[in-house]
Structure 1
Amino acid sequence: MKVYVCFPKGKAKALTMSYDDGKIQDERLVSIFNRYGIRGTFNLNYGMIDKEGLTPPRIKSSRINELYTGHEIATHTMTHPTIARCPMTEVAEEILADRKGLEQITGRIIRGHAYPNGSYNEDIKQLFRQLGIAYARVVEPAADFALPTDPLEWHPTCHHDAPDLMEKAEFFAEFKKKQYLKLMYVWGHSYEFDNHDNWNVIEDFCAYMGGRDDIWYATNIEIIDYMDAAKRILFSADCRRVYNPSALSVWLEVDGDSVIEVKSGTYLEL
C-alpha cells in the first residue's frame, strides 16, 4: 500500500501570497485577489495603522476587518524596525504589542509574521517560538516550489517583480506530477505597483493562476496548520488503519487511485 498526504480535496499544489505594511494600495490588491479567488496574508504594523501624515497612508483600523475578510492578518512588528539590530527585549515588545493590537482590532488569534526589512537571526527565531509565532517569512527566494523546512525562516518562491514570475507561474500551473506537494509563494508590497506603474503584473498573474481546480488557494497560516495536522496523523504499521487526532481534516491519496478525507478525531480503515 502506498499512502501520500495531499492538500485539501486531494490537491497536490498550493498558492499563497504575502504582502507587507498595510498601505492604502492594499484596497486595490485585495480586490484583484478576490476577483480571481487568490488568497493571502497581509502583514501589518499596529503602531502605524492610524498614524497621521504617512505617505502613502495606511489602511485605517476601522477598515481592516472588512477589507481583509477571507485573508490572513499577520504581524510585521509594531513600528517596522530592523530587529536583528535591536535588543531582544525590544524585539519581544515589538512583536507582542503588534499581536495584541491586531488581535484587539480583528478578534482573531494572530500567529504569523513577516520580518521587517528581512531582518532576523537565530536568537530571534527562538524568541518567536516563545511568543506564539508559528511561522515567519523572509525575503530571500527559495530554489524551488518546496514547502518550508523551517517555518520561522520561510523562503517565498519570488517577489512579484521577479523577471521570471510568469515563467515560474506557467511551470507551476502545468506541473502534473502528483507524487510531489508543490507550493508557489509570492510576496511584495502593494505600493510597489504604484511606484513602478505595473499593476498589470499582478492582474496578469492572478488572472492566469486563479480558478484552477488543481490548486489550493490558501493563506500562510492555513498551510502551516494543515501540514502540522498532517504530521499528527497516526498510522498502523501496515498503513491500513489511520487515526486523525487533530482538529482539521487531512486528505490522503491511497495507491494512486483514491483520495480519502480523514476527518478530525476519526479512525479509518484504508
Structure 2
Amino acid sequence: MKIQFDCYPEGKKKAVTLSYDDGREHDRQFIEIINRYGIRGTFHLNSGLLGKLGYIDRLEARELYAGHEISGHTATHPFLTRCPMDRIVDEIQQDRRELELLATYPVKGMSYPHGDWNIQIASMLPVLGIEYARTTNSHGRFDMPDDFWAWSPTCHHRDMLECGQRFMDNQIRHPAMSLLYVWGHSYEFHNQQNWDQLERFCEMVGGRSEVWYATNIEVVLYRNALRDLRFSVSGQWVHNPSAMSVWFSADGDIVEVKPGQVLQLC
C-alpha cells in the first residue's frame, strides 16, 4: 500500500500562514483586514516593549489577537548572536512567561529578532520549550521546512502578490502539501502607504475552500501529528495517538484518522 503524507486538514493540499513581528499599533488595522478574508497568522511580540509608545497595549492583546497566535520575539528585541548564552535564555523565557499571561495558553514559538541567529542558538530552543523559530531568509518556494527551528518563509510581504499569484495558479514545484508563508511588519504598510497591497493579497488568496488558513503553531502541530502516526508492518492498520484528526492518502484515496483511532485501511 502506498502511503503519502500529502494532505492538510479535510484533505486540502494548500495552506496559508502569516507571520508578523514586533506588536506595533498598526497590527490593529492589519488584523481588521485579514479577519475579513478568514486569513490567520502569528504575531511575534516583545513583552518588554508592549505598552510603550507605538506598541500594542498589554490589556488589548488577548482580544486583538483572538483567533490568531501570540508568539515570542524575545523580551527586548536584541541581536541574539551578540548576547551571552544565559541572557538569550532569559530573553526567551521571560518573553514566554509574560506573553502566556496575556494569551492564557502556552507560547511555544518565536521569530528571531532582526533575523539574527546561528546554529548554536537554534539548538538551544527545544530545551527552552520552543517548537519553531522563523528566520527572515525568504526562499520563494511553497514547501514545508526540514527544520522548524530554522523555518524560512516563502516571502516578505513586498513579494506577496507575485508569490500569491503563483501559489493560486498552481505554479508549484512540489504540489503535495504546499505552504504559502508570508512574513513582515504591519508598520511597513503604514510607512509605505500601501495597505491596498494587503487588501489585494487577501482578495487573491482568502476565502478559498481549497485552502487551509492556519497559524504557525498549527502548521507545526499538524505536521508533527502526521509524523507520529503508527502504522502496522503490513500497512493495514494505522493508529493516531494525537489529539487531532489527520489526513493522508492511501493508494490515492484520502483517509482521515481521528484522535486516538485505530483504523483499518484495507
TM-score bin (small chain): over 0.9
**Cα deviations across residues 142-176 of structure 1 (Å, max 9, x unaligned)?**
241110111000000000012xx322212211228
Aligned to 1:181: 177
Please, which runs of 5 or more residues in structure 2 have no aligned partner? none
Paired AA for residue 207 in structure 2: G
Aligned to 1:21: 22
Aligned pairs (5 A) from 1:1-270: 1-5=1-5, 6-51=7-52, 54=53, 57-162=54-159, 165-175=160-170, 180-256=176-252, 258-270=253-265
**Cα deviations across residues 74-109 of structure 1 (Å, max 9, x unaligned)?**
000000001111101111110010000001122110
Percentage of pairs with the same residue = 46
Whole-angstrom distance in 1 between the partners of 2:148 and 2:179: 14
Whole-angstrom distance in 2 between the partners of 1:213 and 1:3: 25
Paired AA for residue 14 in structure 1: A
Whole-angstrom distance in 1 between the partners of 2:180 and 2:236: 32
Q: How many residues align?
A: 263
| Aligned residues of 2:108 and 2:132 also touching (Cα < 8 A) | yes
| Aligned residues of 1:38 and 1:210 also touching (Cα < 8 A) | yes
Whole-angstrom distance in 2 between the partners of 1:94 and 1:176: 40
- Partner SS, residue 110 of structure 2: coil
Please, which runs of 5 or more residues in structure 1 have no aligned partner? none
- Partner SS, residue 208 of structure 1: helix
- Partner SS, residue 46 of structure 1: coil
Bigger drift between 175-184 and 216-225 goes to: 175-184
Give the Å deviation of 1:60.
0.6
Paired AA for residue 188 in structure 2: E
Shift of the 3–176 alpha-carbon distance from structure 1 to 2, 3 Å rule, reads farther
Whole-angstrom distance in 1 between the partners of 2:260 and 2:69: 26
The two structures have a TM-score, normalised by structure 2, of 0.95
Paired AA for residue 134 in structure 1: E
Shift of the 16–179 alpha-carbon distance from structure 1 to 2, 3 Å rule, reads closer
Whole-angstrom distance in 2 between the partners of 1:21 and 1:259: 39
Give the Å deviation of 1:238.
2.7
- Partner SS, residue 252 of structure 1: strand
Whole-angstrom distance in 2 between the partners of 1:176 and 1:13: 12
| Aligned residues of 2:140 and 2:155 also touching (Cα < 8 A) | no
Give the Å deviation of 1:264.
1.1
The two structures have a TM-score, normalised by structure 1, of 0.94
| Aligned residues of 1:4 and 1:179 also touching (Cα < 8 A) | no
Paired AA for residue 209 in structure 1: V
| Aligned residues of 2:140 and 2:163 also touching (Cα < 8 A) | no
| Aligned residues of 2:153 and 2:182 also touching (Cα < 8 A) | yes
- Partner SS, residue 47 of structure 1: coil
Whole-angstrom distance in 1 between the partners of 2:140 and 2:44: 23
**Cα deviations across residues 21-52 of structure 1 (Å, max 9, x unaligned)?**
0001000100111100000000000000023x
- Partner SS, residue 125 of structure 2: helix
Q: Say what the alpha-carbon RMSD is for the aligned residues.
A: 1.4
Whole-angstrom distance in 2 between the partners of 1:204 and 1:47: 34
